[in-house]
Every structure is written in C-alpha cells, then in structure tokens.
Amino acid sequence: MTGTLHVWLRGQLLGQLDELRNGHLRLRYAAEALDTYGLGARPLSLSLPLTDKRVQGDRLERFMDNLLPEGAVRGALEREHHLRPGHTFGLLAHLGRECAGAIQFTAEAEPPAPGHLIALSDDEARRIVAQLPTLDPPPGQVVSASLGGVQAKVLLARTDTGWAWPADGAISTHIIKPEPTTDVAVPDLIRWEEWTLRLARTAGLPAAHAELTDFDGRLALVVERFDRHEGRRTHQEDLTQALAIATRDKYETSVDEHRLATVALAAGAEAISPTAFARDLLSQVAFNLLIGNGDAHSKNYSLTISDTATYSMAPLYDAAPLYLLNSVLQHFGHNLAGQGRLRHLTATHLAAEASTWRLSTVQVTETIAAVATQVRDVLPGCAALGIDVDPVAALIDARAVDALKTLA
Ligand SMILES: Nc1ncnc2c1ncn2[C@@H]1O[C@H](COP(=O)(O)OP(=O)(O)OP(=O)(O)O)[C@@H](O)[C@H]1O
Ligand SMILES: [Mg+2]
C-alpha cells in the first residue's frame, strides 16, 4: 500500500480508500457507515452498494476518476501537483475536500475541517476568471476543489460582500465558466446555455440557475450549485458514476448498453416513487431532444442521493441547442431505442425507449407531450441579449409540434 485517504459523506466517515502498490484503488466501508445505512444500501453511488468486503476494480476506479476534471484542465492540475497523467488517487489527495456532491477525502483520520473563505476584491475575482483556463489562485493559495467536465471553470463562494476563494476544502457555491476561447464549434456558447437553462426553468423543469457576468471583458456563466444549500453539501453523482462507465466513454455508442433504461430501472428502484423518477428522467431527455442538445452525454445528467440513500433526478445543467446551431454536433449522448444521432431521432424513438422503463404508454405520451407543450408556451417570451434566438426558437417550436403530432 502506498497511501490512504479517509472518505467522508456529508461529514460522516464512509470508509477508507487505499492506493495499492500496483496503483489500483481499494475501498473499505467503515463499520459506522454500515450501521447507519445497512448492507446493500447505496448512499455513495448506484454502482457501489455498501458491503463488508473490500471493494476493488473498475467500478471503484471509474467512480473516483469521474470526480476529477477532464482534458487540458486535468493535465494542468496534474502538472501543478507533479503527478503522472491519470493518477486519480494523487489528485484526490489534493482536490478531494471539495467535489461534486457530499463526498470528501482527507489524509487525516479527523472529520474534514470546514476550511475557510478568502475574500476576493472585485479586481481579483475578475482576474481569476479572465485568466482561465490558467487557474491562478490568490497569493499563497492552491486549488483545493474538483469538478468534472472539459471546459475551463473555477469554483468560488458567493458571500454577502462579494466573491471568495474556497480554501482548504471550504464549500463553493458557484461554478464560473467563461466563454471558451479555443475549439469554438458554437459561438456564444455560454449565452446559449444561459438561455436554455432559463427556457427549461420557465417551462417548469428543474434546472440549474445561471446568469451571465462580465469579468474584465470576458463573459462568464455563473451557475449556482444545486448540491450546496445554506452551507451544506447534498450528494449527487453523474450517470457515468451511477453506471460505472469510464470518463472517456461518456457518449453511449453501443446499442447493447441501454444506459437510460438501466438508470430508469435501477435508480428508479432506489427512488421513493420509481414511476415519478422515470418520468423526471424522461422529461429531461425529452427537453434535450426537443432543443437538439448535441452534448447530453452521461456526465451531463446527474442523480441526487438523499441522506437515507433514496434517489431522484438532479436538476438539468450544461444544456444548449448545439445541434440546431451546428449540425455537426448531432451526438445525443445516449441511444433512444437504438438510435443516437439527432439527425434521425424523433419523438417515436423517445416513446419507444421510455416504454421499456416500466411506464405505461399513457404515462410516456403524457410526459413527453407536457414538456413539448410547456416549451412551446414559454418559447415566445424567452428572450436573450447578444444572440439571435428567434431562428433557433422557431426550430425548437417545429420540433415540439412534430413531437405532439407524432404522439397524438
Ligand atoms: N449547477 C450545478 N450544481 C452542482 N453541480 C453541477 C452543476 N452544474 C454542473 N455540475 C457538475 O459539474 C460538472 C461539470 O459541469 P458542466 O457539465 O457544466 O461542465 P462542462 O465542462 O461544460 O462539461 P462538458 O465536459 O460536458 O462540456 C457536471 O458534470 C456536474 O457533475
Ligand atoms: Mg458537462
């Protein structure tokens, strides 16, 4: 064994994560976690039920790896901490006190300290965001927080007096994503994301709250974390973690996987109402289909896990009408009845897919039709600054009309 991290969930000991000599990870759940939740409960992840045996293998490795950023952002963090590429354990030792959800890692056996917030002047906050993807903490500070995803982003805490840097694992409240500067397949991406999340919320779908802010001439999307509430962490995992999928496989390609059906049934079985859960998942997938979201992969849907280990859909996030803005971006992320390309996908595929989720035909039809109707209702009133939403709104409206006709 080369190292040990203590794993905490909502501030309570969950277990011990060891890095073995061969580089692999091993998790042992703590007796107190087994007492609290019981054998077989899934308070951490759908893919990692509590057991009194040691946990090793792909499920564990993938769950942990999926807590970390991807791509260039991850590479920069690895270099900063002098870690070899792909060294999950090493990065968790540095960044694991503030992750997505309520999981935390500490080197010491004591419960994680609350950390502290370092107030940032407006100028400092502007500088930090404007310099992304280079993450340049305030003097004397290091990055001690982690979130998945490819895009450059910074986690900050909003206080009564302005922005603060969350140091030593302190709670962050917002994700700040500036407009990307490279690989721009869709100009004004973050304006579209803000508009889309607002469209979803106005249509009655739970979706992350986000606003646009100018940081020293660089526009950024300021997203409120839905897994932070009044200074507390609530737990969540994304679908790659729930299904034990490697980060690089976040887009479903094989027609044999049936990812969405697996989530609907397996996470639904851990929900208070399996039917309500399946309908919530269906509503999110229907919205993404109607708006032509060409990036709705398995890291762009998440599950919320309560303190009694019951599952529900987390709010929608990271959504934009990418396919309608650039038809190259037509990968829907998941297959619907075996089809994953937006060019071919229709409400018929979605209805056929959802009919395998233990929903009746009426429930499937009603759920999709409700989303289509609500989106149509609110589209005309959903304006945006700096982007011409009208042509895209017209396309979405036509897609919703089509869906309603198909289902009638
Ligand atoms: N509002 C939110 N509250 C809590 N967690 C969130 C929220 N939005 C996103 N996340 C988490 O942060 C991760 C990264 O966010 P997001 O998907 O917006 O980043 P991204 O880099 O644009 O992703 P991608 O790689 O899909 O382009 C998500 O996968 C999810 O786990
Ligand atoms: Mg994402």
For 248-302, the pLDDT digits (tens) are 999 999 999 999 999 999 999 999 999 999 999 999 999 999 999 999 999 999 9
pLDDT at residue number 267: 98
Q: Is the CB of 176 under 6 A from ligand 1?
A: no
Q: Is the CB of 238 under 6 A from ligand 1?
A: yes
* pLDDT band per the 50, 70, 90 thresholds, residue 1: low
Nearest CA owner, ligand 1 atom 28: 148
Q: Which ligand 1 atom lies nearest to the CA of residue 226? A: 3
Distance (angstroms) between ligand 1 centre and the Cα of 318 equals 6
* pLDDT band per the 50, 70, 90 thresholds, residue 144: confident
145-191 pLDDT, tens digit each: 999 988 989 999 999 999 999 999 999 999 999 998 876 789 999 99
For the packed helices 259-269 and 274-291, what is the interaxial angle rounded to 10 degrees?
150
Put residue 168 in one of left, alpha, beta given phi > 0 → left and psi -120 to 50 → alpha: left
Which bound ligand lies closest to the C-alpha atom of 333? 1
Share of the chain above pLDDT 90, in %: 91
What CA–CA distance (Å, rounded) separates 271 from 235? 14
Instruction: Say how many C-beta atoms besides its own lie within 10 A of residue 227's C-beta.
Output: 18
In the three-class reduction of DSSP (H, G, I as helix; E, B as strand; rest coil), residue 209 is classed as coil
Q: Is the CB of 175 under 6 A from ligand 1?
A: yes
Nearest CA owner, ligand 1 atom 18: 318
The pLDDT of 216-236, averaged and rounded, is: 96
Q: Which ligand 1 atom lies nearest to the CA of residue 223? A: 1
Distance (angstroms) between ligand 2 centre and the Cα of 149 equals 5
The pLDDT of 108-137, averaged and rounded, is: 92
310-366 pLDDT, tens digit each: 999 999 999 999 999 999 999 999 999 999 999 999 999 999 999 999 999 999 999
Which bound ligand lies closest to the C-alpha atom of 154? 1
Distance (angstroms) between ligand 2 centre and the Cα of 36 equals 32
Contacts 24+ apart (CB under 8 A), 396-399: 396/290, 396/291, 396/292, 396/321, 396/324, 399/289, 399/290, 399/291, 399/292
pLDDT at residue number 163: 97
Pairing of strands 339-341, 331-336: antiparallel
Q: Is the CB of 226 under 6 A from ligand 1?
A: yes
Q: Residues near 243 by Cβ (< 8 Å), separated by ≥ 6?
A: 46, 47, 259, 262, 263, 298
13-65 pLDDT, tens digit each: 999 999 999 999 999 999 999 999 999 999 999 999 999 999 999 999 999 99
The pLDDT of 394-399, averaged and rounded, is: 98
Nearest CA owner, ligand 1 atom 8: 317
198-222 pLDDT, tens digit each: 999 999 999 999 999 999 889 999 9
Nearest CA owner, ligand 1 atom 22: 151
pLDDT at residue number 349: 98
The pLDDT of 6-13, averaged and rounded, is: 98
Main-chain phi, psi angles of 290, to 5 degrees: -65, -40
Is the pLDDT at 197 greater than 90? The verdict is yes
Structural contact between residues 347 and 285, judged by C-beta atoms closer than 8 angstroms: no
Structure token pair of residue 217? 């001439």
Tell me which residue has tokens 């429930």: 363
Least Cα distance to 162 among 200, 122, 131 occurs for: 122
Nearest CA owner, ligand 1 atom 15: 149
Is the pLDDT at 142 greater than 90? The verdict is no
Average pLDDT, the chain: 96
Mutate to test the pocket of ligand 1, among 198, 318, 334 (most ligand atoms within 8 A of CB): 318
Structure token pair of residue 111? 């419960």
Tell me which residue has tokens 């017209």: 394
Which bound ligand lies closest to the C-alpha atom of 193? 1
Nearest CA owner, ligand 1 atom 17: 318
pLDDT at residue number 273: 98
Nearest CA owner, ligand 1 atom 23: 149
Q: Which ligand 1 atom lies nearest to the CA of residue 209? A: 1
Nearest CA owner, ligand 1 atom 26: 149
Q: Is the CB of 124 under 6 A from ligand 1?
A: no
**3-state SS string for 161-182:** CEEEEEECCCCCCEEEEECCCC
What CA–CA distance (Å, rounded) separates 287 from 199? 10
Q: Which ligand 1 atom lies nearest to the CA of residue 297? A: 26
What CA–CA distance (Å, rounded) separates 339 from 252? 10
pLDDT at residue number 184: 79
Mutate to test the pocket of ligand 1, among 205, 299, 334 (most ligand atoms within 8 A of CB): 299
Structural contact between residues 396 and 321, judged by C-beta atoms closer than 8 angstroms: yes
